[in-house]
Each structure stands twice: as structure tokens, then as C-alpha cells.
Amino acid sequence: MRPSEFRRYKYVKFENFGLSTFNNGVNQTGELKFEENNSITDFNGTADFEYLYGRKSKLRYGTHWVTHNMKPGELVYQELFDGAVETNNTYGTANNQFPSEWSTYGELDFHSDNYLSINIGARLWTYFGKDNTFMRIEPRITLNQRLQGNKRFQLGLSMNNQGIHQLSSVTGILPQDVWFPTSGNMKPQQTTQFSAAYIQPLNDGFEFSVEGFYKYFTGLMYIQESRDEKLSRDYWEQMISQGTGNASGIEFLLSKKSGRLNMIASYTYSKTTRLFEDINGGVAYPFRWDRPHKLAIQMVFQPTTTISFNLNAVLMSGNPVTVPTGRYFTVDNRLVYDFSQINNYRLPTYQRVDVGFTKEIKPEEHFETREFYGIHIYNLMGVSNPVNAEFQFNSNNELKLIGTSYFTFVPSAFYRIEF
């Protein structure tokens, strides 16, 4: 049995506006302060048990309860005059909620004499919200069959539900995560996943594997930015659309985990899309993290027991972003951009190479501690990889994208001691 847990996430943004005047020889100051925050605090209680059936089977079961103290949007407004607080109000407290989730599960691990391993189980998940209660079954099964020559074949099926929704915004300097509960006409998010894999040992410690997967999502969220009025009651129910999505892909992986050279090289082809009836004209579009192609290599070479060199290289498709398909002027002469299509442009290919060196300091003189020093270079080639893009129209009425990149070349050195 595990003890209760306490976890908290909080995001706070401050804005200050000052004013100073000099009238009849008297200097007067005024200040406006805005503090916007959202937070989620979880109180957890868990009980887990195991029961052994001989040497081949193991039964696990247990229960879990969590209560969320959710503040999806509070605004503290202060007016100060000559340093004294004249007004101090807090808005948005009507949106604070305390939903709870309860689940109980059971699973059986079975290992047969013909090298077949089976994990089968289910979880009963219940969500207690302000307006609704949802109860759903989450089945799960994993099969692992060992074949001749240590070859392996794996199959998996699982289903999961989530009553607390997370929406992330990466348009600013820092990302902002907003958590809000299922309420009103909203439904919990559900994910169903299928996977299959084949593993083939090779010579000299190498291993090759290929794995395919498919995920189907329901209850996904999309923010209608124009409806964002965070001080109104249950504002997210008016600014959120729910829809479906899917993700699928196949990964080819070559690995070596013994000897002086350890490495992992992989190529992944994948697609992930979203579909909402009232978004993008009801047509499916690529999700923000859709990257059809990804090639990754990680290598660690240790010529001696005290020296190691490491290499990390990534080459993958750029993220899709939304750019306007046109612009027009309204009757009151305001310029409006037409965003009729979502994620209709893809950023340039992402490419990065990192290298590093580590040396252990006189290991023969240290028995209770170990000391290391080394260097590391992030993005050795100095490639500019845009993480987002802003658009502008030039004098010829042509759209121009300006990418924003961070950490184009970062060298570092370190000293580490291990106890």
C-alpha cells in the first residue's frame, strides 16, 4: 500500500502599470497591478496489492482516489495610490471546482511453458464532476511470444480515460498550460491504442525491431480564441469545441546495449490529425506535433573505463503552423486576416547534432564518491530551427514568414560528483 500524495501545478503572470504626476509641488504616483493565475492541486490516495499463484502467475489489484482543487482562471486586480491600496478585487473564483476521480483495477500476469507471456486486466474509472458523473471500463491486454533464437512478437490493446483536460499555449515566450474539469455538455477524453512489434536479435549484440501503432481519440479539445472570456462563469464551455483524432505510425529501430559502443538508431513515419465539426470547415487537419518523418541516432563510445564520447543527431519534419490564406478590410476599415485553414504550412526540416565528452577523475583514489568533468555542445552545426513563425505582408502584398529560433549553438562544461 502506498501513502497519500500531494501534487500541485501553478502558473502566474504579473502585469504592472505605473503613473506619476507632479502638481502644485506635490508628486503623486499611481499603479495598477494584474495577477492572472491558474492552478491544479491534487490530493491522492492509493492502495495496491499483489498475490502470487505459484511461479507462473501474479495477480495485482488496487484502488485509487484523487480530488482536484482546480482554479482554471483567477484575476487579482489592485489599484494603488501613493503606495496605499485603494482597490483589491479577485475575479473568476466562481470557476473554482473540486472534481474527483476514483478507479479500481485488477490485472493478471501469466507466463506459460511455451514462452508466452500474457498481461490482461481492466480498470473501472469513475469521474465525479459538478454537473455529471461518468463511469467507464478500461480493458488492457499485452501478449509477448518468444520465438526460436530469442526472436519476439508483441501485441497490445489498451483504453484510457481522462476527466481533467489540459490545453497548452506556446505562442508566447513561455508555454502556458491551462487545466479545467469536465462539466456541462463536455465529455471526458478517451484514447484507444493498438500496437504490434517484432524484435530480431542480430550478431555482435545488435538488435532490430519494427513496431506499428494506431491511436484513436475522442473528447479532444480546441480553443476558440475569440470566445476567451476567462472572468465569466464556466467560460471554457463556451470557448471549447470537442472532436476526434487519430495517430498512427511505424518505427524501425536498431540498437546495441553492450560493449564499448552503445547506440540506438531509429526511423519513424507517423501521422496525427484532428477533426472538429465547426473547425477548419469540418475537414481533418494535421495536429501541431504531426511530424511524418523522424530520423534519430544516439551513440556512446567508451574507449576506456574512464572516458566516454557521446553523439546525438536528429533530422525530422518541421511542425505544421497556421498562416492566413488572405486578408480583407471590414466596413469600418479594419484589417482582418482570413485563417480559413488550420496548420496549412509546415516549418522547415528540423536538424540538430549534439556532441559531448566525459572523463572520470582518478577512480582508483575514490571509493565512496565518483568525480567527473566534461564538455557538451548543443547544436554543433549552429542550425537555426524555427519553433514558431510570425507572418508579414510585404509591399508587393506577398506573405512572408519570419521564424523564431532558440539555442542555435550552446557550448557548456561541467563538473559532477556522485555519492
What's the pLDDT tens digit per position in 214-266?
999 999 988 776 555 666 777 777 778 899 999 999 999 999 998 999 999 99
- Residue 172 above 50 pLDDT? no
The better pLDDT of the pair 133, 95 is held by 133
Give the model's pLDDT for residue 168.
65
CA atoms within 13 A on the CB side of 405: 20
pLDDT digit string, tens, across residues 27-64:
778 888 888 888 889 999 999 999 998 888 999 999 99
The better pLDDT of the pair 6, 372 is held by 372
290-166-238-98 Cα dihedral, nearest 10 degrees: 170
Burial of 142 (0-12, 13-18, 19+ CB in 10 A): middle
Instruction: Please state the domain extents for the chain.
Output: 291-419
Query: How far, in Å, CA of 107 to CA of 110, rounded?
Result: 10
Query: How far, in Å, CA of 32 to CA of 35, rounded?
Result: 10
- Are the beta carbons of 297 and 312 closer than 8 angstroms? yes
- Residue 144 above 90 pLDDT? yes
Average pLDDT over residues 77-97: 82
- Residue 173 above 50 pLDDT? no
Name the residue with cell 485563417. Answer: 339
Query: How far, in Å, CA of 263 to CA of 116, rounded?
Result: 29
Give residue 311's identity as a one-letter amino acid code: L
Neighbours of 226 (CB within 10 A): 7
The β-bridge partners of 209 are 199, 253
Cell of 310: 557521446
Neighbours of 49 (CB within 10 A): 11
What percent of the chain clears pLDDT 90, i.e. is strictly above it? 52
- Residue 179 above 50 pLDDT? yes
Query: How far, in Å, CA of 379 to CA of 376, rounded?
Result: 10
At residue 7's C-alpha, the angle toward residues 241 and 100, to 5°, is 55
- Kindly report the pTM of this predicted structure: 0.81
What percent of the chain clears pLDDT 70, i.e. is strictly above it? 93
Give the model's pLDDT for residue 230.
63
Give residue 22's identity as a one-letter amino acid code: F
Cell of 94: 466562481
Average pLDDT along the chain:
87
Say which range, 91-100, 109-118, 227-236, 354-363, has the weakest mean pLDDT: 227-236
Query: How far, in Å, CA of 416 to CA of 370, rounded?
Result: 8
Taking the alpha carbons at both ends of the chain, their separation in whole angstroms is 30
Give the model's pLDDT for residue 264.
97
Give the model's pLDDT for residue 174.
44
The β-bridge partners of 354 are 312
The β-bridge partners of 78 are 33, 88
Smallest Cα–Cα separation from 130: which of 68, 182, 178, 179? 182
- Residue 412 above 50 pLDDT? yes
Entry field: residues in the chain: 419
Cell of 404: 523564431
Query: How far, in Å, CA of 155 to CA of 196, rounded?
Result: 5
Does an H or E element contain 164, and which?
Answer: strand 164-169
